[in-house]
């Protein structure tokens, strides 16, 4: 089996002022500054990116944005471009989070444009996919997520795909305290990997890291991360406190 370095990313969503974000980044850095066997990524809101970047300077911890526009510049009031993110030395950008899809009408086509633009600016996209509870109960969840994978990643070249991270986030598990069972998550991760092989190549499929997201916390992470196709976590609530986030990274390290 191909080695895939684990990746734990914190999605802070619309939380933390600049000073709160700095405090959290500094606290995480104190514990994880030299972590090299797990990729650690902090995704604060846009307003705190520069401050978090400064707090992390000289550490191995990366940072990223939670969204971006696909154009480099122009008349898009309120939007942020990939070029601007690179200008802050951002490494990653979360794209197609279910909250973006649900509240801001993001479609697979939009996510695809954003993913292509991110990669063209050497940003690594973390592309989120996942089904709603209704979709799972209808038994169509595998089909629905496969469609999201194909739609969001269409036309991405093999080398770029290898720089892309996927996050399987069942919508019913995000911020709800409900977690997919390790078996449910593994089943979907394996299906996503199979679709990546269809979309691109087996080599790319074996290289791409697929995170699980949805109420992952220290008490359930070990079991999830023990699954062969779960390569890390995209963490919401548990990333807002240094202690739980650091604990999750340590659990991921043990599972390497
Ligand atoms: C998320 O929003 O990406 C997420 C996984 O949130 P939570 O961990 O709070 O469910």
Query: Across the strands, what pairs with 41?
Result: 9, 62
Binned at pLDDT 50, 70 and 90, residue 33 comes out as confident
Buried b (16+ CB within 10 A) or exposed e, 66-98: bbbbbeeeeeeeeebbbebbbeeebbbbbbbbb
Cα–Cα dist 136/132, whole Å: 6
Q: Annotated active-site positions, please?
A: 97, 169
Query: Across the strands, what pairs with 63?
Result: 42
Does the Cβ of 234 fall within 6 Å of ligand 1? yes
The per-residue pLDDT for 132 is 96
β strands within the chain, DSSP E = 6-11, 38-43, 62-65, 92-95, 124-129, 165-168, 209-213, 232-235
Q: pLDDT, tens digit, for every residue of 152-209?
A: 999 999 999 999 999 999 999 998 988 999 999 999 999 999 999 999 999 999 999 9
Q: Which residues contact 132 (CB under 8 A, 6 or more apart)?
A: 171, 172
Does the Cβ of 213 fall within 6 Å of ligand 1? yes
Does the Cβ of 96 fall within 6 Å of ligand 1? no
What's the DSSP call for residue 33?
T
Is a pLDDT exceeding 80 seen at residue 1? no
Give nearest CA residue, ligand 1 atom 6: 236
Ligand 1 centroid from CA 215, angstroms: 6
pTM for the whole thing? 0.97
Is a pLDDT exceeding 90 seen at residue 256? no
Does the Cβ of 169 fall within 6 Å of ligand 1? yes
Does the Cβ of 81 fall within 6 Å of ligand 1? no
Does the Cβ of 236 fall within 6 Å of ligand 1? yes
Q: Which of 7, 43, 178, 236 to mutate to test the pocket of ligand 1 (most atoms within 8 A of CB)?
A: 236
Q: Where are the alpha helices (DSSP H) in 82-181?
A: 82-87, 98-103, 108-120, 133-137, 141-153, 158-161
Cα–Cα nearest to 128, from 140, 143, 114: 114
C-beta separation of 202 from 158 below 8 A: no
Cα–Cα dist 38/41, whole Å: 10
Q: Identify the architecture of domain 6-254 in CATH.
A: Alpha-Beta Barrel (3.20)
Ligand 1 centroid from CA 169, angstroms: 8
Domain boundaries, the chain: 6-254
The token duo for 255 is: 């599972």
Cα–Cα dist 108/105, whole Å: 10
The per-residue pLDDT for 151 is 98
Cα–Cα dist 62/41, whole Å: 5
Q: Which of 12, 215, 230 to mutate to test the pocket of ligand 1 (most atoms within 8 A of CB)?
A: 215
Q: Write phi, then psi, for 165 (nearest 5 degrees).
A: -110, 140
Q: pLDDT, tens digit, for every residue of 77-90?
A: 999 999 999 999 99
């Amino acid at each position: 089996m191909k080695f895939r370095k684990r990746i734990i990313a914190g999605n802070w969503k619309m939380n933390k002022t600049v000073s709160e974000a700095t405090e959290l980044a500094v606290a995480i850095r104190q514990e994880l500054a030299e972590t090299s066997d797990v990729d650690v990524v902090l995704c604060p809101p846009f307003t705190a990116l520069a401050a978090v970047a400064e707090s992390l300077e000289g550490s191995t911890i990366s940072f990223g944005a939670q969204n971006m526009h696909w154009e480099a510049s122009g008349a898009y009031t309120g939007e942020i471009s990939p070029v601007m993110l690179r200008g802050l030395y951002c490494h990653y950008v979360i794209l197609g989070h279910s909250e973006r899809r649900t509240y801001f009408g993001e479609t697979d086509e939009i996510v695809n444009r954003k993913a292509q633009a991110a990669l063209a600016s050497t940003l690594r996209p973390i592309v989120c996919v996942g089904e709603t509870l209704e979709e799972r109960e209808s038994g169509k969840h595998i089909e629905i997520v496969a469609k999201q994978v194909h739609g969001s990643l269409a036309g991405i070249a093999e080398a770029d795909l290898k720089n892309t991270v996927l996050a399987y986030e069942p919508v019913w598990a995000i911020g709800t305290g409900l977690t997919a069972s390790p078996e449910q998550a593994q089943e979907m991760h394996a299906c996503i990997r199979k679709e990546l092989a269809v979309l691109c190549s087996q080599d790319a499929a074996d290289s791409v890291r697929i995170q699980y997201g949805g109420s992952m916390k220290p008490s359930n992470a070990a079991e999830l991360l023990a699954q062969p196709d779960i390569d890390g976590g995209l963490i919401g609530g548990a990333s807002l406190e240094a202690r739980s986030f650091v604990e999750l990274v340590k659990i991921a390290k043990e599972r390497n």
